[in-house]
Structure 1
Amino acid sequence: MPSPSKEDWKDRIEPYLSSSLDAVSEEVTQSEPVQTWLRKASTDAAENLGRGRGMQAEMQGYARMMNDLEETLPELMDAVAELTADCGRIDLEWHSLRPTLSQLYVDFDRDIEINLFVRLSECTTEAAQECLGTIMQALPEGAPYPNRPNTVTGLVARDGQSVGVRVKEYLQEDHGHRRSVTLLPAGTKPLEKVSNREATRQLLVQLCPNTSSC
């Protein structure tokens, strides 16, 4: 079977990016090309691991597998970079003792847990509002518990720049719901509990610095 092209990988991954990165990980990891690579690469890495010791040997095994992945499935790496506006890359969670549990996932090099990825298609208020709405739609189903809000964190990106967006849904005393939005720019303090309008404006400020917004 020929190796999937970059477009094949994009078609496989793109439907899940804006709803669940866990689903992206599952879709990629369980694909036949990755399973074939994983079986061989894990076996080779485990054999080399047996000749080394401790954490250093595991790190060397991980590095060896990542190098092999880039050589074996470069189309996958390119597809993820293109789909994520050069903000994400494929990484490996390697379980050296139980290699069948190893999996690939999209890493964004951020110190926050990201549940979904949304690309800002153009520098307009409407496009930014659509990104915010997509993240809100990904909130867990069901009513939040008292003092334990439903929470989802998305990453909105454009041209290599990204902003985290965390939405929380709270249960109120009258059993209604309210939501709060916190923006998580890279390298700066969070902008907490901003209005939807301000969140939309800030997305454009952060991701479209050459476009005026009001």
Structure 2
Amino acid sequence: MPTDDAPTRADWDRRLAPTGASTDDVRILDVEAAGERISRHAALGRWLRDAAFEAVEGLDEAGAAEARAHGRMKRGLEEQFPALVEAVRDATGGCGHLNLQWRPLQPSYSKVRLVFDGDLEPDVFCALRRPALSAVQYALRAVAEALPKGAPFPNRPNTATGVFECDGRCLGVRYREHPGEGRPDSDSPRRGVVLLPREGDATDEHPEGEAARGIVAYFAPQERERWYER
């Protein structure tokens, strides 16, 4: 049996396993938790600790820019753990990749993070088996669950971000929760959704139902009407 000191593809797959909220149509990944599980692997943790301190020493000796040092660490991570690179690619449908949160002043607190197209760092990743409206609505609820629990402030909405993937296409989704001021049910916050496509600019903010249909249209434009009925 492999030990925790000898990472295998199966080790990484377990750390990238979907949450219990997943269904047959929607596979949900808590992105931050997955990054934490990866960072806690014994072999990766040792490499990360040594690489982080070595990078700091390089800054002291040669005055290298932090961006270059960070880039060298990232390349080193990918070269040292190629199975992890593949596991992340497969678990995210090609939408996600590895990055490092390197802290030069606190190198022992450096860790691995998962980032997505457009440098998004979502709370939730959702892989859709098919772009049915019911599946999209379920995935949107998973993103909404990641919203902060406190009440939003005026001009500073609560936000939560997701990335949806279907057949290798990726779409960023951002929830915004505003105070319900000026409404009869002003105690209830107002929620809207912004779509963040890879190919263009972010959309305007839309109501949840309208956003769900927009996501269906993004992934299945040729079958839009049929999918809307599901």
TM-score range (shorter-chain normalised) is 0.7 to 0.9
Q: Is the 8 A contact 2:128 2:136 kept in 1?
A: yes
Q: Which amino acid is the alignment partner of residue 28 of structure 1?
A: I
- C-alpha spacing 1:96/1:150, structure 2 compared with 1 (3 Å): closer
Other-structure match for 2:32: 22
Give the TM-score, by structure 1 length. 0.83
Mapping of residues 132-151 of structure 1, within 5 Å: 132-151=140-159
Q: Is the 8 A contact 2:114 2:121 kept in 1?
A: no
Give the TM-score, by structure 2 length. 0.78
Q: Is the 8 A contact 2:162 2:174 kept in 1?
A: yes
Other-structure match for 2:211: 199
- Segment of structure 1 superposing worse, 36-45 or 14-23: 14-23
Mapping of residues 36-75 of structure 1, within 5 Å: 36-55=46-65, 58-75=66-83
Other-structure match for 1:3: 6
Give 1:118 deviation, angstroms.
1.3
CA distance, structure 1, for counterparts of residue 48 and residue 145 of structure 2: 34
CA distance, structure 2, for counterparts of residue 182 and residue 160 of structure 1: 21
Give the count of matched residue pairs.
212
Give 1:100 deviation, angstroms.
0.9
Q: Is the 8 A contact 1:154 1:166 kept in 2?
A: yes
Other-structure match for 2:23: none
CA distance, structure 1, for counterparts of residue 194 and residue 178 of structure 2: 14
State, as a whole percentage, how many aligned pairs show the same letter: 34
Give 1:209 deviation, angstroms.
4.3
Q: Which amino acid is the alignment partner of residue 169 of structure 1?
A: E
From 167, 175, 184, the equivalent of 2:187 is: 175
Uncovered stretches (5+) of structure 2, i.e. residues with no partner: 20-26
- C-alpha spacing 1:138/1:42, structure 2 compared with 1 (3 Å): closer
Q: Which amino acid is the alignment partner of residue 35 of structure 2?
A: S
- C-alpha spacing 1:46/1:196, structure 2 compared with 1 (3 Å): closer
Uncovered stretches (5+) of structure 1, i.e. residues with no partner: none
Give 1:62 deviation, angstroms.
2.9
- C-alpha spacing 1:37/1:166, structure 2 compared with 1 (3 Å): same
Aligned-pair RMSD on alpha carbons? 2.6
CA distance, structure 2, for counterparts of residue 79 and residue 73 of structure 1: 10
Q: Is the 8 A contact 1:123 1:211 kept in 2?
A: no
Q: Which amino acid is the alignment partner of residue 129 of structure 1?
A: Q
Other-structure match for 1:77: 85
Q: Is the 8 A contact 1:86 1:159 kept in 2?
A: no
CA distance, structure 1, for counterparts of residue 195 and residue 6 of structure 2: 39
Q: Which amino acid is the alignment partner of residue 155 of structure 1?
A: V
CA distance, structure 2, for counterparts of residue 200 and residue 37 of structure 1: 42
Q: Is the 8 A contact 1:125 1:201 kept in 2?
A: yes
Q: Is the 8 A contact 2:194 2:206 kept in 1?
A: yes
Q: Does residue 166 of structure 2 align to residue 154 of structure 1?
A: no
CA distance, structure 2, for counterparts of residue 145 and residue 47 of structure 1: 43
Q: Which amino acid is the alignment partner of residue 197 of structure 2?
A: P
CA distance, structure 2, for counterparts of residue 146 and residue 42 of structure 1: 40
Q: Is the 8 A contact 2:193 2:205 kept in 1?
A: yes
- C-alpha spacing 1:5/1:49, structure 2 compared with 1 (3 Å): same
Residue aligned with 2:79, SS: helix
Deviations 1:45-76 (A, max 9, x none): 44544542331xx4443333223222322221
Q: Is the 8 A contact 1:19 1:138 kept in 2?
A: no
CA distance, structure 1, for counterparts of residue 119 and residue 74 of structure 2: 21
